[in-house]
């Protein structure tokens, strides 16, 4: 129930047309940042520090030399789950919430963070 509201909030903000400003350091990846923002990822993740979920830079660091990283994260974002970082559960994003193409864009964005 609570998850539903968390996921709805960014949608309502997007519908109201108030576009958030992309932080300076992500200007070169504005589309990716805005996609993460509008999908609601930043409710639990913020680049640079841990929130409910791990900071994405840490995720990138952990999987840097892992050839299965992209496949693992594609699955994780689709199906959700816990245990990789903490016991809290990351919600899954089905195709109607986040298309496969957009999921891939986000995975590449996360893995590109330093
Ligand atoms: C309701 C909170 C919440 C939201 C919203 C959320 N996450 Fe997460 N995320 C988490 C938690 C909690 C974890 C840690 C899960 C674990 O320890 O296995 C996590 C972990 C991750 C990981 C690391 C997975 C791993 O196995 O190492 C990635 C990548 C990630 N999230 C991406 C995203 C993306 C992309 C979005 C938006 C589409 C998103 N998250 C939205 C809570 C959230």
Mutate to test the pocket of ligand 1, among 45, 91, 93, 96 (most ligand atoms within 8 A of CB): 45
Q: What is the pLDDT of residues 71-94, one digit of tens each?
A: 999 999 999 999 999 999 999 999
CATH number of the domain that residue 61 is part of: 1.10.760.10
- Domain range for 70 is 2-112
Cβ of 113 below 6 Å from ligand 1 = no
pTM (2 decimals)?
0.85
Q: How many Å lie between the centroid of ligand 1 and the Cα of residue 21? A: 22
Q: What is the pLDDT of residues 28-42, one digit of tens each?
A: 999 999 999 999 999
> How far apart (Å, rounded) are the C-alpha atoms in residues 53 and 90?
7
Could you give the number of structural domains in the chain?
1
What tokens were used for 56? Answer: 């994405």
Q: How many Å lie between the centroid of ligand 1 and the Cα of residue 17? A: 26
């Amino acid at each position: 129930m609570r998850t539903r509201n968390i996921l709805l909030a960014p949608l309502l903000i997007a519908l109201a047309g108030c576009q958030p400003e992309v932080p300076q350091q992500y200007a070169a990846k504005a589309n990716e940042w805005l996609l993460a923002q509008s999908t609601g990822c930043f409710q639990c993740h913020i680049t640079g520090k841990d929130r409910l979920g791990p900071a994405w830079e840490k995720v990138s660091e952990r999987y840097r030399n892992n050839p299965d990283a992209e496949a693992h994260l594609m699955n994780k974002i689709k199906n959700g789950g816990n245990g990789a970082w903490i016991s809290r559960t990351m919600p899954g994003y089905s195709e109607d919430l986040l298309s496969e193409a957009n999921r891939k864009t986000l995975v590449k964005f996360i893995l590109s963070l330093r």
